[in-house]
Structure 1
Amino acid sequence: MLEHPVSPIQIFPGFSCHHTISARILMQPHILILSLLLCLLCCSVPAQALEGPMDLDDIRFWAYQIQALTEPGAIDALAESSYDMLVLEPTRTDWSSDDRYFDTEGAIERLKQTPASDGVHRKLLIAYIDIGQAEDWRWYWTWSTDFTPGEPLPGDWPGYILEVDPDGWESNYVVKYWDPEWKDLVIWGVGEDPAQGRDWESIIDEVILSGFDGIYLDWVEGFENDKVMAAAQADGVDPAEEMITFIAEMREYAQERNPDFLIIQQNAAALLLGREHLVEYIDGIAQEHVFFDGIATDDWDEPQGYDTPTESDQSREYVEYLHMYLDLGIPVFNAEYALEHADEAYERSLAEGFVPFCSRRSLGELSDTPPPNLPE
């Protein structure tokens, strides 16, 4: 039997206690149990849980990926990154492939357990949704997909669909977003469908069910589309005000279910002109290609998918409009499609007070040109 004083750590590896106790005493059952309890209570330091996400105003680093999230390692890369905010495609709403079976809810829950850049807060998770266009691969598309651009729209399509996307994104179709049927799909709900394995009623319902902290609204710019403006005139409505009303309705619906739910507007910075009440319904704005752009492509390796300078007049206009948001207390994020020019894009963006992210047009991987000073 051991006679000399020893530390419990010598007998029970894994415990940390600085007191020395006679081994003979320590080995008495009741003393042994008490020693173990004391070490567990006093000597072990539990891992500190992460705090909730940062306020949007405090976000310094963000990333944007809306393709290939089902690829091996994609969620791992996002989890291992130190971005403060991630804007992601919900994925399981893509019913054109097996992506519909992707565990979006599980992925979001996992990402919520990973730290932001400060190591204190968790990441903020925002869902990308298109509110100004219908997409024929989504869960709600039950109509013909046999359509050739330039030909009349198929007769079985709903009347709120106006035209194919003018920027070259196939299978995306501009809509009359004030139409009640479209609003049902986006906000109010069309009912669950257990037979299809769908336990959500609308686009926003799915986002909330998956655990996202907010939504990132694409195609707010629809209010400036020629076909939309013509349809609005025919319906006797103001397309800009209808867009703001649409966003306000989304906010009200979502915040009834999650009071902290966030809304980030993408592009369409001119919507604020003469309509400052817009800022009552959004928490941030993100503008693409303020300085650098690329062609519309799903191919990450397409060389024309990045590093095309935005025309100087257009760039100046973006900056001017975005400063209007900053002046009203709305944080501004920008997505630049830059590879060789990433350093320039970051420098110019930060000088304007924006929070930049550089990637490639396909947004199919986590950026290989991350922001400067992003912790590893």
Structure 2
Amino acid sequence: MSTARLTLLSLLLVACAANGAASSGTVPAAPDAGTRAQRLTQARTWGYQLTGYGDAMLGPVRRSPFDVVVIDAVTDEGVAWTPTQLRTAAARPGGARLLAAYLSIGEAEDYRPYWQASWTASPPRWLLGGNPDWPGSYAVAYWDPAWQALMLRQLDHVIESGFDGVYLDLVDAYEGHAQRPTARADMVTWVCRVAAHARARDPHFLIIPQNAAELIRDPGYAPCVDALGSEETFVYAMNRPTEVARQQALLADYAVWTAHGKPVFAVDYADTPELVSRTYARARAAGLVPYVTVREADVLTPGR
């Protein structure tokens, strides 16, 4: 058995043990915590907004009809949300919506609270080159223990704020490390480490990776994750239909997710009415939970 497999098995055993044992670091479960996974599976609508909330009580989220909403882990000012703010935003008639915190575990961002100004001149060993498509974002050696420790501290803040789960971005970063033979396995191990860490504190905490749908074919991955968020199934940002081959490949991967009982939350980027309507219809016909919005993710776009 490979070292990566042994590491992954160890992480899964830790996660299982955490489900049955409390510790001084365990977060008390919310009254409905035991139904989070079921509520996630039953969700039919969702939204995704990372900036531009407008007020401290997350007005756009409170006014939305969505079953699940992904927001940034911190306010526009970089301050952690409080449990009261999140409870207020989640409340709605008929039962609270689920709130997941956005957290990039495959790239670093220089506008985050964890960023240190000294890194520009003297970067840590895990900080690699900048992302030309997203100024302020940097590739990282996501397998590096120092980077992982930094992200797990951010995850702790998410849990302490009272989120129902975490929405992990840049899980597909392994695709940019073709020169590293273990890059794919390293990402599976990393996501499972995130899951084990979170569930040791909150056994019902939800883990939702974004993209890298094909990782579900790794037998060690499925126990670590609860659902998939996936971009650009039918429409690239912005308003550009995707290729049939891409759609077919993704839908084949999605079928594996649903066979495992894990829902797929699809986000496409369009704002022309006809394309928006067609995208919602195609996604629902494919058994996905759809959301169509703008690339900036700075508004909570009304659903269909």
Same fold (TM over 0.5): yes
Give the TM-score normalised by structure 2. Answer: 0.83
1:29 maps to: none
Gaps of 5+ in 1: 1-49, 147-153, 188-201, 295-305, 372-376
CA distance in 1, matches of 2:200, 2:191: 14
Shift in CA distance, 252/102, structure 1 to aligned 2, threshold 3 Å: closer
2:300 maps to: 366
1:214 maps to: 165
Shift in CA distance, 77/143, structure 1 to aligned 2, threshold 3 Å: closer
Give yes or no for the alignment of 1:229 onto 2:229.
no
Letter in 1 for 2:197: Y
Matches within 5 A, 1:189-338: 202-225=153-176, 228-230=177-179, 232-233=180-181, 238-273=182-217, 275-294=218-237, 306-338=238-270
Letter in 2 for 1:180: P
Give yes or no for the alignment of 1:56 onto 2:40.
yes
CA distance in 2, matches of 1:61, 1:366: 12
Which portions of structure 1, spanning 4 or more consecutive aligned residues, are displaced by more than 3 angstroms? 50-54, 101-106, 143-146
1:356 maps to: 290
2:27 maps to: none
Shift of residue 248, structure 1, vs aligned partner: 1.2
CA distance in 2, matches of 1:309, 1:278: 30
Letter in 2 for 1:257: R
CA distance in 1, matches of 2:171, 2:252: 18
CA distance in 1, matches of 2:188, 2:264: 18
Question: Greater relative contact order (Cα 8 A, min sep 6): structure 1 or 2?
Answer: 2
Letter in 1 for 2:96: R
1:3 maps to: none
CA distance in 1, matches of 2:79, 2:42: 34
Map Cα deviations across residues 333-355 of structure 1 (whole Å, 9 max, x no partner): 10011222111001100111000
Letter in 2 for 1:77: P
1:198 maps to: none
CA distance in 2, matches of 1:319, 1:104: 38
Gaps of 5+ in 2: 1-30
Shift of residue 204, structure 1, vs aligned partner: 0.5
Instruction: State the SS of the aligned residue for 2:297.
Output: coil
Map Cα deviations across residues 288-326 of structure 1 (whole Å, 9 max, x no partner): 1100121xxxxxxxxxxx311112222222112211211
Shift of residue 144, structure 1, vs aligned partner: 4.2
Shift of residue 244, structure 1, vs aligned partner: 1.1
Answer whether contact 1:131 1:177 (CA < 8 A) is retained: yes
Answer whether contact 2:80 2:157 (CA < 8 A) is retained: no
CA RMSD of aligned residues (A): 2.0
CA distance in 1, matches of 2:110, 2:168: 18
2:95 maps to: 121
CA distance in 1, matches of 2:249, 2:57: 36
1:132 maps to: 106
CA distance in 1, matches of 2:119, 2:124: 13
2:63 maps to: 80
Query: Over alpha carbons, which structure has the higher Rg?
Result: 1
Shift of residue 91, structure 1, vs aligned partner: 2.1
Identical counterparts, % of pairs? 30
Answer whether contact 1:293 1:361 (CA < 8 A) is retained: no
Give the TM-score normalised by structure 1. Answer: 0.67
Instruction: State the SS of the aligned residue for 1:276.
Output: coil
2:280 maps to: 346
Instruction: State the SS of the aligned residue for 1:356.
Output: strand
